[in-house]
Amino acid sequence: MSLENGFELGKYTIVGPLGVGGMGEVYRATDTKLDREVAIKVLPDGMAHDRERAARFEREAKVLAQLNHPKIAAIYGFDEANKKRFLVLELVEGPTLADRLVDGRLPVEACLDIARQIAEALGVAHDKGIIHRDLKPANVKVMAEGEVKVLDFGLAKALAEDDANVDLGDSPTITRDFTAPGVILGTAAYMSPEQARGRPVDKRADIWALGVVLYECLTGDSMFRGEAVKDSLGAILHKQPDWERLPTETPPTVRLLLRRCLTKDRKRRFRDIGDVKIELEAAIADPTSSVLGLTSTAVAAHGKVQSWTGRGISTVVGTAMLAVLVTLVIGWSF
């Protein structure tokens, strides 16, 4: 961290470090005029010194400032002082969801409630045409009373170049030490397949990411773990989630919900985060119910279709042939 305690950025005084990542360094600071604590995110030098990108970031910050919702951490301003460009953000106390998951998976009830609150926050942003694009446990705060706040809305877009030219190895929050064994890459591990291919994204990319986060909460493990960016992206594009890792008490409707969030073909994915929220609310109220018709029977049928092998198909064909023979025998007997 480059700023020492007591360092002044205009009316803000640095109190201590909060974290560092590809998007810059984050500090706890005091707003000396309003006498409140805030979070200061100092932008990377490469972006802060590029006037065009900084102006683009400022325009994006103004849009994000319209997101006034209790589930979304607020952006207070975009400023410059002492040759530093920085964001002024709401200071949210409490551990991140990533911190909570260090000790392993969470109870199913807690997982569903956290996912429901994240879906609520995403819905507010999507209604205003804002896509998060970097949803992951490290960008979700879980406060003592169980309330959730989603951080860094839209900042990935603000820091990225045009979609077609995004360098995945320089994505805003990817861990810089790509080769360290056991490292779970931030942005890469939660990218939708279309993001991984460098294609334009829409709100369905956030729906995918929510599915990845919910799976991780339920299992306690990252779905697309990789030691390098290419490993994570390869898994996203070519591997299927290990559904057997889900705890046995996971409601059947939630299992199917995850499948519909995590289908690689976004045309077959949930189209609206509001539908995901409705399903989560229904699962919380009654694990056997489904407002959108994702019944346990459908889940069972879906699972069978996913797991059919040549042997399974042969069994079905054999059963059908047996039924035909029985029908013929009965007919002949009369």
CA 101 to chain centre: 14
Which three-class secondary structure state does DSSP give residue 95? coil
Tokens of 220: 């306690």
**Quick check: helix, strand or coil at residue 297?**
helix
Residue 236: CB atoms within 10 Å:
24
Q: Is 103 a catalytic residue?
A: no
Q: How far apart are CA 281 and CA 2, in angstroms?
A: 44
Q: How far apart are CA 211 and CA 208, in angstroms?
A: 5
How far, in Å, CA of 114 to CA of 108, rounded? Answer: 10
Q: How far apart are CA 137 and CA 210, in angstroms?
A: 10
**Which value, in Å, is the radius of gyration of the alpha carbons in the chain?**
24
Pair 151, 140: CB distance under 8 Å: yes
Q: Which residues 6+ apart lie within 8 Å of 137 measured at CB?
A: 96, 97, 98, 100, 101, 213, 216, 217
d(CA 241, CA 233): 14
Q: How far apart are CA 151 and CA 69, in angstroms?
A: 12
d(CA 267, CA 143) in angstroms, rounded, equals 35
The residue behind tokens 């109220």 is 285
**42: Cβ–Cβ under 8 A, 6 or more apart, which residues?**
2, 3, 24, 25, 26, 27, 48, 84, 85, 86
Q: For residues 128 and 241, what is the distance between their CA atoms, to the nearest angstrom? A: 31
Per the residue annotation, which of 31, 113, 134, 152 is the catalytic one?
Answer: 134
Q: Which residues are catalytic?
A: 134
